[in-house]
């Protein structure tokens, strides 16, 4: 659908596709599924974050035994939060590419 879209549009379309492929029929993920998806699809951004208090707080919330499920909006907020604290983001900021 976004074959000719911008890099940013393609990136967000990819996030939506990955989420939708993992979500239940109601369009939601359990906390355990969310944690697994993050580990499998977002490892570069969460690698090395294990000792950061904010990361531990986020992951602890996902570890709690609860039937609460995460919708796409909450998933995006989670991704953005994890990205902003990521060491990888700092590395990316230091790299400039030109087309």
19, two tokens: 């989420």
Q: What is the pLDDT of residue 32?
A: 85
pLDDT at 65 over 60: no
Interatomic CA distance for residues 53 and 64, integer angstroms: 16
Label residue 67 by pLDDT band (50, 70, 90): low
The domain made up of 7-98 has a fold known as: Recoverin; domain 1 (1.10.238)
Would you say residue 43 has pLDDT above 60? yes
- Beta-strand (E) ranges in the chain? 29-30, 69-70
Question: At 62, phi and psi to the nearest 5?
Answer: -75, -25
52 pLDDT band, cuts 50/70/90, is confident
Long-range contacts of 88-94 (CB under 8 A, 24+ apart): 88/44, 88/45, 88/47, 89/45
């Amino acid at each position: 659908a976004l074959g000719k879209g911008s890099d940013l549009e393609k990136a967000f379309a990819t996030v939506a596709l990955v989420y939708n492929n993992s979500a239940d029929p109601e369009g939601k993920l359990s906390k355990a599924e969310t944690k697994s998806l993050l580990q499998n699809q977002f490892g570069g951004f969460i690698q090395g974050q294990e000792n950061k208090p904010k990361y531990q707080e986020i992951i602890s919330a996902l570890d709690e035994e609860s039937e609460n499920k995460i919708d796409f909006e909450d998933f995006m907020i989670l991704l953005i939060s994890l990205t902003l604290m990521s060491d990888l983001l700092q590395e990316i900021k230091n790299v400039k590419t030109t087309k």
